[in-house]
């Protein structure tokens, strides 16, 4: 490998703040190795492109400190569990049952039109439900297991986890006040497959803990994000 000869020059400097630059004699260029020139040019172009994309956003927010805004948004996502892992391992765990689970209830005629998907740790399904009080269960196609129902409390409250099991054949009850698509999540399945935790939320809504709500309230005014003059 060829190494370029080092160039040294000694200058005597007096005390004080001194500005200096390193350049060619004609002040028009400074030669780097071609590979370093390419990398530097690419990095500069990437930074310039990013600045151009962010400029309209910065102007539209009227001088908001974008770094503080990004930190605040990341904080909201962190406390809301948006970064939590959804798999039981690097590739997730295999599904507990070989057959498919379905959300089956009065709202879909107790049929199998709403299958649940396994993501490695939980079962989920999206179901459009009209306003009303609806009985339902989580079961397979032939009702011969698994067949999840209530284990004492049949009432499913939106956004509140509820323990369900296969030891009882009682239906679950869900009250809907707004026709919408709802997300059914079955998690924390017991090792003997006899119980689990069911959570129903309006699709697209992620439950946010109290700390997240306080942070969102603080963001409401955006006062702390304004640049100080």
pLDDT higher than 70, residue 218: no
Burial group, residue 71, by CB count within 10 angstroms (0-12, 13-18, 19+): exposed
Name the fold adopted by 102-202: Immunoglobulin-like (2.60.40)
Q: Is residue 209 very low, low, confident or very high in pLDDT (cuts 50, 70, 90)?
A: very low
User: Which carries the bigger pLDDT value, residue 8 or residue 207?
Assistant: 8
* Lookup: tokens for 205: 């809504």
In tens, the pLDDT along 30-57 reads 555 555 455 556 666 666 666 666 666 5
pLDDT higher than 70, residue 165: yes
In tens, the pLDDT along 108-148 reads 999 999 999 999 999 999 999 999 999 999 999 999 889 99
Domain boundaries, the chain: 32-61, 102-202
Burial group, residue 26, by CB count within 10 angstroms (0-12, 13-18, 19+): exposed
User: Which carries the bigger pLDDT value, residue 219 or residue 107?
Assistant: 107
Helix pair 34-60, 66-79: axis angle to 10 deg:
80
């Amino acid at each position: 490998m060829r190494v370029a000869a080092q160039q040294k020059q000694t200058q005597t400097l007096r005390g004080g703040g001194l500005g200096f630059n390193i350049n060619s004699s004609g002040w028009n260029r400074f030669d780097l190795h071609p590979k370093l020139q390419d990398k530097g040019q690419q990095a500069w172009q990437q930074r310039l492109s990013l600045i151009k994309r962010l400029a309209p956003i910065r102007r539209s927010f009227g001088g908001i400190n974008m770094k503080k805004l990004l930190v605040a948004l990341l904080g909201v996502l962190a406390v809301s569990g948006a970064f939590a892992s959804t798999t039981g391992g690097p590739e997730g765990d295999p599904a507990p049952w070989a057959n498919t689970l379905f959300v089956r209830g009065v709202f879909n005629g107790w049929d199998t039109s709403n299958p649940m998907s396994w993501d490695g740790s939980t079962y989920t399904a999206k179901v459009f439900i009209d306003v009303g009080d609806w009985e339902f269960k989580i079961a397979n196609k032939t009702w011969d297991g698994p067949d999840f129902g209530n284990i004492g409390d049949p009432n499913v409250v939106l956004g509140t986890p509820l323990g369900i099991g296969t030891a009882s054949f009682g239906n679950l009850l869900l009250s809907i006040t707004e026709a919408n698509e709802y997300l059914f999540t079955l998690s924390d399945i017991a090792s003997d497959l006899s119980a689990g935790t069911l959570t129903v939320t309006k699709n697209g809504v992620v439950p946010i803990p109290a700390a997240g709500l306080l942070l969102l309230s603080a963001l409401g005014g955006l006062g702390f994000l304004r640049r100080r003059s």
